[in-house]
């Protein structure tokens, strides 16, 4: 049986992407929590370029960056595919994954900003939610990615994961339930 390890941090939505993919595919793994203020020698060895999480290690071979890790996982363990098989549907999914990756930076931006800058980030967050609501949830799909959870849902997981936390901790009202049913 292959040895799978995941180096992550409790607050990393990118590490959670990998965790959720592993769980969806039923792949057992060892989770190693990293202190990013005091990075372990193994993390620095496995990711000497960016020195960040997540790092996925399969049979001693490290893979970095969550989207690359998810692609690797999908190729090695093809059960419960994370992307549609239809070329057009897959292309649309990849577009939304890229959109989610581009917008993921809003998390750290929102946490670090205050005053007018924070309100500008909240506005950008709401615009992202509106785009998701208007374009990504077309039709009667159960999930962003279609009838079952896939890589698009995993990519957008940062919204559900952090939205309530930011509202509670930063005292912000970002999500308007009447606007996003």
User: Domains in the chain, ordered, with CATH?
Assistant: 4-76 (3.40.30.10), 87-170 (1.20.1050.10)
Quick one: tokens of 61?
Answer: 């071979």
Sheet strands side by side (includes 4-8): 30-33, 4-8, 55-58, 61-64
Rg (CA), the chain: 17
Q: What are 6-24's pLDDT values in tens digits?
A: 999 998 889 999 999 999 9
CA distance 50 to 94: 23
pLDDT digits (tens, 9 = 90+) for 108-159: 777 777 888 888 888 887 888 788 777 766 666 778 767 788 998 898 887 7
Tokens of 130: 């509106």
DSSP 39: -
In this structure, what token pair is assigned to residue 23?
Answer: 């769980």
- This prediction has a pTM of 0.84
């Amino acid at each position: 049986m292959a040895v799978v390890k995941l180096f992550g941090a409790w607050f990393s939505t990118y590490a959670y992407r990998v965790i959720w993919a592993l769980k969806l595919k039923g792949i057992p793994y060892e989770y190693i929590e990293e202190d990013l203020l005091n990075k372990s020698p193994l993390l620095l060895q496995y990711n000497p370029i960016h020195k960040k999480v997540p790092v996925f290690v399969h049979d001693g071979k490290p893979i970095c960056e969550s989207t690359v890790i998810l692609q690797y996982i999908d190729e090695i363990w093809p059960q419960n595919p994370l992307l549609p098989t239809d070329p057009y549907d897959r292309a649309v999914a990849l577009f939304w994954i890229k959109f989610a990756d581009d917008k993921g930076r809003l998390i750290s931006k929102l946490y670090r900003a205050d005053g007018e800058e924070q309100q500008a980030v909240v506005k950008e967050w709401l615009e992202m939610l509106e785009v998701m609501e208007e374009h990504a949830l077309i039709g009667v799909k159960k999930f962003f990615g279609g009838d079952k959870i896939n890589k698009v849902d995993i990519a957008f997981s940062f919204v559900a994961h952090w939205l309530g936390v930011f509202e509670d901790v930063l005292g912000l009202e970002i999500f308007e339930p009447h606007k996003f049913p």
